[in-house]
Amino acid sequence: MSNEGLQSVKRIFSTKAMNWVVAYASREPDRNFPRVLGFLRTLARQDEHREMLDQITGYYQNNPAIHQFINRLLTGTNPNVKRRLVYNWFVDPIVRGADRETLSAKFGVHIPSAILVDPTSACNLHCAGCWAGKYAKADSISPARLDRLFEEAKELGVYWIVLSGGEPLIYPQLFDLIEKHPEITFMAYTNGTLIDEQMAGRMAAAGNFSPAISLEGWREGTDARRGKGVFDRVMRSMDLLRERGVIFGVSITITRHNVMEVTGDDFIDFLVEKGATYGWTFHYVPIGRNPDVNLMVTPEQRAYLAERIPYIRTHKPIQIGDFWNDGEITRGCIAGGREYFHINAAGEVEPCAFVHFAVDNINQKSLREVLASPLFEAYQKRQPFHGNYLRPCPIIDVPQALREIVAESGAHPTHAGAETVLAGTVACHLDERAAAWGKVADAVWQEKHAARKAGGM
C-alpha cells in the first residue's frame, strides 16, 4: 500500500475510533471512561503516551476533584468540540505516533511542543501595564504566512498553536485558518469582549479552538485595569461559550494586589460555576507598557502561590497552571524553543512572551531555520537556569542569565524599552527580587524535598 493510502486508512480508523471513544466515554463516564483509557493504552506506541494514560486513570479513580473535572468535560461539552479534542489530544497522537525527538534528530533542530504567535498587535482595549503594550499597533502577520507556518508546524510534529496579541479575535481571517487546520489544537489568550453569538457558534463548529479569557479578579479589579464594563462583557461571553459547550479557560495576571482575591475559594468556585475548565496564571513581569516593579508579587506571596495553586488543582474541578512556580513539573523554563517560543505580530521570533529580544524573523525564514536560532541555542544550553525549579526564569529568577544570552546571541530588543530588564532601575530591582526570592525558594525547596525523602517518595 502506498504511503498516501496508508495515511488514508489511518485517518478513517482515527475518525471511527474518535467517534466511538467520545460516544462511549460520555455514556456513564464513571464506568466507561477508565475503559476507554485502557483501550487507548493498547494502541499507544510510545512509553510517554502509556504513562500519560496511566496517570489520567489514577487521577480519575483516586481524586474526587479531578473525577468531577473530567466528568464535567465529558457531559457538558459540545459533541463536536469533544470529538475534535479527543482526536487531537489522544487518538491522533497515538495512531499517528508522531515523535518530535525523531524529527528533531532528522532535521538537526530541537522541536518544541507548542508555538505562541500573535496574528496582529491591534487591540480594542488599552489595558494598564499590558505586556505587549509597546509593540507597534499596525503590525500583522499575513494570512498566507500564518497558513504556511501552520503547515510547517505540522511537518515538524507541532500540533498545538497558541494565539495572542494584541487581540487575536480581531484578526479577520482567524477562523478561516483555524478551520483549514483541524488537526491543530488552537488556544487564544483573549480579552473576551468580542465573543458574540456568531463567534461562539463558530468556535463550537470548528471544535479545535479554545479561548483563555483575561480577568484580574472581580469586577472592580478587572475594570480598573481593562476598562469600565469589561467584566460584565466577559461574563456574557462566558455564558455564550458555556451554553454552546465550548471549552474555555481564564488567563490571570497575578500582582501583589490581587493575589489573594484570584486564588480565593469564592473566586475559583465562581469560575467553575461560569463554566471555565482551566486557567493560566502569570506573575506580573515589569515589561511592556509602563512597567511597574511595585506590581510584582512579593517573595512571601510567591511562596503562598507555590502551595495554593497545586491545592486548587487537586481540590477544585478546574485545572490552574502557574508558569513560574510549576517549574518542577516542567523541569525548569520551557521557553527559548525548548517547549515553546513566541512570534510577535512583526514576525520577530522571541524566546518567550516576556523576553522581547530577537535574532530572526519568520517572514524571512522558515520555521525549521528559526528553530536553529543562536538565541535559542544560547537559551537551551543554559536550561535549566537553576537547580531549584522554583527559580526557573531568566527574567525574574536568574536575570544574569538573560544578559548573557542576549550578549552571546547578538539579539536586539523588539521594541523601545525592552532593554530595561537588562540594565537600569528595572534591572536592579529584578536582581534584588531574584536574590530575595532565592532565599525563600531555597528554603521551600529544601523543606519540600526533605519531606518527600522522609515519606519515601
Paired with 162 in beta bridges are 116, 187
In whole angstroms, give the CA distance from residue 341 to residue 295. 25
pLDDT in tens, 388-410: 999 999 999 999 999 999 999 99
Pick from 185, 203, 184: nearest CA to 194: 203
Tell me the backbone φ, ψ of residue 21, rounded to 5 degrees.
-60, -50
pLDDT at 339: 95
Mean pLDDT of 314-323: 96
285 and 395 Cβ atoms separated by less than 8 Å: yes
Q: 409 vs 182, 363, 402, CA distance in Å?
A: 36, 20, 11
Mean pLDDT of 186-214: 97
Mean pLDDT of 325-335: 95
Peptide bond into 332 cis (omega under 30): no
In whole angstroms, give the CA distance from residue 247 to residue 213. 11
Q: Per-residue b/e over 340-369, b at no fewer than 16 CB within 10 Å?
A: bbbbbbbbbbbbbbbbbbbbbebeeeebee
At which residue does the C-alpha cell 544550553 appear?
A: 381
pLDDT at 214: 98
Q: Is the pLDDT of residue 297 over 90?
A: yes
In whole angstroms, give the CA distance from residue 198 to residue 147. 23
Domain ranges within the chain, ordered by starting residue: 3-92, 100-370
Q: 270 vs 217, 263, 276, CA distance in Å?
A: 11, 11, 9
Paired with 283 in beta bridges are 254
Percent of the chain with pLDDT over 90: 81
pLDDT in tens, 49-71: 889 899 999 999 999 999 999 99
pLDDT at 14: 58
Q: 153 vs 63, 109, 113, 338, 348, CA distance in Å?
A: 35, 13, 10, 15, 17
pLDDT in tens, 130-160: 999 999 988 999 999 999 999 999 999 999 9
Mean pLDDT of 436-444: 97
When pLDDT is cut at 50, 70 and 90, the band that residue 455 belongs to is low
**Single-letter residue type at 46:** Q
Q: 391 vs 134, 162, 222, 282, 388, CA distance in Å?
A: 27, 25, 29, 15, 6
pLDDT at 83: 87
| Interhelix angle 79-86/197-206, nearest 10 degrees | 40
Burial class (CB in 10 A: 0-12, 13-18, 19+), 128: middle
pLDDT in tens, 343-371: 999 999 999 999 999 999 999 999 999 99
**Single-letter residue type at 363:** N
Maximum pairwise Cα distance, the chain: 65
284 and 323 Cβ atoms separated by less than 8 Å: no
pLDDT at 9: 46
Percent of the chain with pLDDT over 70: 93
437 and 391 Cβ atoms separated by less than 8 Å: yes
Which cell numbers in the block locate residue 457? 517518595
Sequence-separated (6 or more) residues with CB below 8 Å from residue 173: 143, 146
Q: What is the DSSP string of 99-145?
A: -HHHHHHHHTS---S-EEE-SB---S---TT-TTTTS-TT-B--HHH
Q: Is the pLDDT of residue 256 over 80?
A: yes
Q: 329 vs 44, 153, 397, CA distance in Å?
A: 23, 25, 17
Sign of the C-alpha dihedral, residues 162, 255, 323, 377?
Answer: positive
In whole angstroms, give the CA distance from residue 388 to residue 390. 5
The CATH number given to 100-370 is: 3.20.20.70
In whole angstroms, give the CA distance from residue 378 to residue 337. 11
Peptide bond into 79 cis (omega under 30): no
Q: Per-residue b/e over 132-164, b at no fewer than 16 CB within 10 Å?
A: bbbbeeebbbebebbeebbebbeebbbbbbbbb
β 412-413/357-358 pair status: antiparallel
Residue 350's SS3 state is strand
Sequence-separated (6 or more) residues with CB below 8 Å from residue 209: 175, 178, 186, 187, 188, 203, 246
41 and 54 Cβ atoms separated by less than 8 Å: yes
